[in-house]
Amino acid sequence: MNFLDIFLILISSAGLLHGITFAIYLTFFKKKKSVTNYLLSLILLITAFRIGKSVMLNFGNDLEPLFIFSGLALLLLIGPLLRWYVKGMTTTDFKFSFHSFIEIIPFIIIFTTSFFTPKNIFETNQKEIIILFSSIIIGCYLHLIAYIFIANRSIRKIKTLNLNQTKAHKAIFKWLHLVIIGFIIIWISYVSNIIEDSIPYIIGPIIYSLVIYYLSFKAYQLKVIDIDGNVFQINNDNLLFDKISSLIINEKLYLESTISLASLSKKIGESTQKTSQIINQYAKQNFNDFINYHRIQEAKKLLINEDYKKFTISAIAYDSGFSSLSSFNSAFKKFQDTTPSLYRKTNT
């Protein structure tokens, strides 16, 4: 083995070890435990095994068929894992479905077959064996590139649905695009080696090393290992407050003297606790103050209205939604720091 071979082994092995170390960190030492980080760890470990197999195949001799076929089988697992990872990074509360496990059936078939592959299979010149083995190789690589494009299409679809993006959204989309590009580069390097023997087989592991170093740097820079698809969760609280405001203000529900937190909650289909929480959060008032504030705004208009000059303060109080004059006077004093009669006198 010459110096160049040793140098190439060191470069490719360094990338391999870096990928494994990164996977171990995500699995055991990262404080934030998430499905997406576990999926990324599996992708890194499986890809590292593939790279290790390539290095040994390039510099070693007489590798066991089990080792070679299991390496091919893992190509059928990387694709689904990549799709699940993209899904987990772009979907709120990502969960595996039955369809997810169907996707790994090709991997299970090829991996199981590898245990029954005779050791002398690569020594035979039988045409059928060569065609079968070539078909498996081509099928595995086509399977992977298909999943890469499926994952990329999923990213593009989610991106078009999220035109208003937060900093976390942008970080995730940028990261996922880099991951897709990285896998495309790795895929091209291996396929080029199969198609054209002039490209050394060791180029694949070297390219993997460069890609994994770059991706780990970007993962740290973009802080994507600290976030997942839950950042895409839609906050419906502001929409719920808009609904409450529409009922209370636009439809003037505050004019109903019998309006209560319970009746309002029933109208919007929420619990009284949730309705109270939303009003407190967005109106910065409790339910009673929120209702009385809008009643007082209505009363102020009536007090200075020429057509209501002949009406008493009590009549205006009832028309504004209050059920008693005392509660009207108390609320008016609270929000206007004056009495209704004095307000009428100074504004007419």
Q: Would you state the pLDDT for residue 197?
A: 57
- The confidence score (pLDDT) of residue 7 equals 67
- CA 62/CA 25 separation, integer angstroms: 34
> What does pLDDT average to in each consecutive run of 10 residues of the chain (348 residues)?
63 77 89 89 86 63 65 88 95 85 91 75 66 83 94 92 83 95 89 65 75 90 90 79 90 90 91 92 92 93 87 92 92 92 86
DSSP letter string, 248-316: IIIS-GGG-TT--HHHHHHHHT--HHHHHHHHHHHHSS-HHHHHHHHHHHHHHHHHT-GGGTTS-HHHH
Burial of 2 (0-12, 13-18, 19+ CB in 10 A): exposed
Is 268 in contact with 240 (CB distance < 8 Å)?
yes
For residues 303 and 340, the answer to whether their CB atoms sit within 8 Å is: yes
Tell me if 87 sits within 8 A of 96, measured CB to CB.
no
Six token digits for residue 124: 């035979």
pLDDT at 5: 60
**pLDDT reported for residue 290:** 94
What is the set of domains in the chain, with CATH numbers? 3-232 (1.20.1070), 237-346 (1.10.10.60)
Q: CB of 76 within 8 A of CB of 32? A: no
Amino acid, res. 222: L
H/E element holding 128?
A: helix 127-161
Q: Do residues 303 and 292 make contact, with C-beta atoms less than 8 angstroms apart?
A: no
Q: Is the pTM of this model over 0.85?
A: no
Rounded to a whole number of angstroms, the CA Rg of the chain reads: 34
